[in-house]
Amino acid sequence: MLWVVIILPVLTLPRQTSATHAKAVIHDTNLQNLCGLAANLAAAGVHLKDKIESFKAKIEAEENIRRTALILAGATKLHNLTVRLADAYASIKLAKATQLLADAGGKAAIAAGDAGTVAGAVSEAFSILEQHTKPGKTASAEAVCLTDNANQGAGGDNRKKSSAGKLAQCFSLSGGTKSSGNDPFNYKTLLATAQAGNNLFTSGAAGSGSSGCAVTNIETTSFGKASATLSQLNLAADLIQLTAGGSNDHAGSKLIAHSEVQSKAPKLQTAITSYVTAIKAATEPPTVHLQQLHESNWQAAAADEDLLQAFKDVAAIPPTTAKLPDNLKNIYEDYVKARQQWSQKLEGGKNIDNEWPKYLAARSAWLLEIELAAEKKPTCPTTATKPEEACNAIGDSEAKKCNETDNCHFDSSKEAGKKCTLKKELKEKLEKVNQETGGKDGKTDCSTHQDQKSCEEVNTAGKPATCGWRSGKDNEDEKDKVKCRNGSFLATKQFALSVVSAAFAALLF
């Protein structure tokens, strides 16, 4: 979307009736600051559009980092804590940034609407001045409103569109490339002049009788005549204010001062305010939110409430935690390092936009496969005190049921009462685990692992986690401490189907 935003705050044009200034004019040297402003304002729409698009590009970049992290982690296996944290943290920040983008766009639209009226006012103001400028050079004091005479008197080149000189940009309202560097609405800087009191125009810009630059041609009873019934006429959205009160010319004709914009030209003030509000909305809050995603300092990052929430979302800390504990510093530092890899393009020339739908499809299929398998098959508990007996209990005459039960296998060569038996490979694994753990209910002793890497290496890809690097639950010791604990998928007595389904569903991304 291209927004055209134009404002015109200008300075006081004082009354002048002295005959000594009979040849006074509005000089183009005094107007060149106004010309520069007009040129910048012509490009203000592009300037604001660029701000919005820059904001949008930053959001898209962070979204691609999040997606890359998940794709590299794999669609058909459990993700480690670092990847889950990256996903949760980015999701929080991107949701806020997207809302801010919508807010900035709304403010920009308002600014565009406010600027429409002002754009017309600028054109009208310069049109009025141009129409009261005679062609060529003249020494007369008649309608000569614009000149390049260094003495601010008649005799120089009088400016019109055909010989605009420094005022070319003012007449055309084009050539706005200057806005690329600084804020084009810094009007007090652009309007600074050498005139006393920061007056933009010369003191002879308004005249009386035949002196100076008359803005209108006074007829017998027209506006400006003492007998006229109309006492004041404002033109160009109140930029030009004409006042009656003297013989055949206006007693006081002026262009308003920038200090008077708010009180005398509210539409201009509204345009200024709308633009400034839109620029701030597209630059300040978004920058803060998105920069926090790549904060390298742990102490600074730990103060971010969104990071605290992200750790809660991945169950690394209890929901009631008020402050991030320092034992999570290593996890965060792993996240910072991993971002360097996630910020790169995918290997093999793969495109993130093409790979992301593939990841989602594979992830969904994997989760669905696990859930359907869990629903269809009863489970012979691997962690029961006597798992072999659980299979035996199915019976010698239930070969089909035995084979459909996870971890169990029907062997007709076995003795009566034991034909449905524990699978050989699982039995060997359990015996090995019992030897390593001293037969403590067949569980791996996850507490022996002191770091996240060795803790998660125990797990088998595509299988429920045996150990997890997490905080404790209500029935566990030191529940506020993050350490290697037994996986939530293994119960003491049985493999809990409901827990499996819920846990895998939570790991969709």
**Other CB atoms within 10 A of residue 166 CB:** 16
Per-residue pLDDT of the chain (509 residues; tens, 9 = 90+): 222 222 222 222 222 222 233 333 444 554 555 555 555 555 566 667 777 888 889 899 999 999 999 999 999 988 999 999 999 999 999 999 888 888 888 887 777 666 666 666 666 666 666 666 655 555 444 445 666 665 545 556 667 777 776 666 566 654 444 433 344 444 444 433 333 333 333 333 443 334 445 554 444 444 444 555 556 666 666 666 665 554 444 444 454 554 555 566 677 667 767 777 887 787 777 778 888 998 999 999 999 999 999 999 998 999 999 999 999 999 999 999 999 999 998 888 899 999 999 999 999 999 888 888 777 665 554 444 467 777 888 888 888 888 877 778 888 888 888 888 888 877 777 666 565 554 444 456 787 778 887 888 778 766 677 788 887 776 677 767 888 887 643 333 333 333 333 333 333 44
How far the first Cα of the chain sits from its last, in Å, is 34
Per-residue model confidence (pLDDT) at position 36: 53
User: How far apart are the C-alpha atoms of 241 and 452, rounded to whole Å?
Assistant: 75
* Among 352, 345, 410, 405, CA closest to 381: 405
Contacts of 196 (CB under 8 A, 6+ apart): none
- Domain with 100, as residue range(s), is 19-276
What amino acid is encoded at 278 in this protein?
A: A
Q: Are 227 and 221 in contact (CB under 8 A)?
A: yes
User: How far apart are the C-alpha atoms of 31 and 159, rounded to whole Å?
Assistant: 11
Q: Is residue 121 part of a domain?
A: yes
DSSP string of 182-213, one letter each residue: S-TT-HHHHT--SSGGG-SS-TTSS-STTSS-
Q: Are 46 and 2 in contact (CB under 8 A)?
A: yes
Q: Are 379 and 497 in contact (CB under 8 A)?
A: yes
At residue 52, the 3 state secondary structure works out as helix
At residue 322, the 3 state secondary structure works out as coil
Q: Is residue 359 part of a domain?
A: no
User: How far apart are the C-alpha atoms of 363 and 342, rounded to whole Å?
Assistant: 19
Per-residue model confidence (pLDDT) at position 72: 94
The residue assigned the tokens 């691609």 is 64
What token pair was written down for 187?
């009007």
Instruction: Answer with the one of 223, 254, 276 that is the final residue of a domain.
Output: 276
Instruction: Answer with the one of 276, 311, 345 that is the final residue of a domain.
Output: 276
What token pair was written down for 408?
């169990």
User: How far apart are the C-alpha atoms of 421 and 391, rounded to whole Å?
Assistant: 5
Side by side, which strands form the sheet with 240-243?
A: 232-235, 240-243, 252-255
Instruction: Answer with the one of 253, 276, 299 that is the final residue of a domain.
Output: 276
What amino acid is encoded at 99 in this protein?
A: Q
Q: Is residue 25 part of a domain?
A: yes
Q: Is residue 234 part of a domain?
A: yes
Q: Is residue 179 part of a domain?
A: yes
Per-residue model confidence (pLDDT) at position 452: 82
**Distances in Å between the alpha carbon of 299 and those of 84, 176, 285, 324, 329?**
21, 45, 21, 10, 9
**Residue 19 has what DSSP assignment?**
G
Q: Are 310 and 85 in contact (CB under 8 A)?
A: yes
Beta-bridge mates of residue 232:
243
Q: Is residue 5 part of a domain?
A: no
Q: Is residue 217 part of a domain?
A: yes
Q: Are 102 and 1 in contact (CB under 8 A)?
A: no
**Residue 369 has what DSSP assignment?**
H
Q: Are 104 and 112 in contact (CB under 8 A)?
A: no
**Residue 78 has what DSSP assignment?**
P
The residue assigned the tokens 């300092």 is 297
Count: domains in the chain: 2
Q: Is residue 197 part of a domain?
A: yes
